[in-house]
A = this chain, B = another copy of it.
């Protein structure tokens, strides 16, 4: 109900002014976000929408809030009530947005790594592609975001030197276990128990004793065939044998 003589705008004019579409204005009307103050009187159907200067001002506020990434229902809330704390709202929203931005950055990093890997190889078949993709995404499939951060922090703590040492230790240990198994050594044998202690010592050094990480790692090694060029499939019999030896030795596993 605009005052008579007041300047009014029709949907198309508003759309042109704001860069929106008429459909969008209809939508805002439908969801009760912005309803025109008036309509042209018409014979049969509903008349044309007539927006006043006040409507226009409200629309500008809507657009501003929308540009900050708020949802339309949030926008409606903020415009209808004034008993909320803008600071808190903005900070919460900022946190959300930075979170999303971080996610996307990580995704971009993964993709860049993938692009690099593909560039290094000469011919790239569809299989190579899928394998490389797998390589890069595997780790994230098993660890949660939080766990990955813990792992990074832990790596920082122990230093690269020790990480390299552990990496070098694994093949040696696996060879020893394999020969013990080939010799049909009983898992309850003290030698087997010693191997189990070394084995789970290395594991614990990686997991930092975190049960969640232990479980994730376990699942990954049970599910995957290759991890980081290591033949995990071949490790599975060893893992069972070592598990038995650990049980005999009374080693407590984090899981």
Contact = CB atoms under 8 A, between A and B. Distances in A.
Contact of A137 (B17, B64, B137, B138): B64
A7 interface: no
Nearest to A84: B126
Contacts of A124: 85-87
Interface centre among A90, A91, A105, A141 (most CB of B within 10 A): A90
A84 B130 CA distance: 13
A115 interface: yes
A112 interface: yes
Interface in A12-58: 17, 19
B108 A64 contact: no
A115 B101 contact: no
A170 interface: no
B87 A97 contact: no
A21 to B, nearest CB: 16
Interface in A97-125: 97-98, 100-101, 104-105, 107-108, 110-112, 114-115, 118-119, 124-125
A104 B114 contact: no
9 contacts: A60-B134, A64-B136, A68-B110, A69-B107, A82-B126, A86-B129, A87-B118, A90-B115, A101-B108
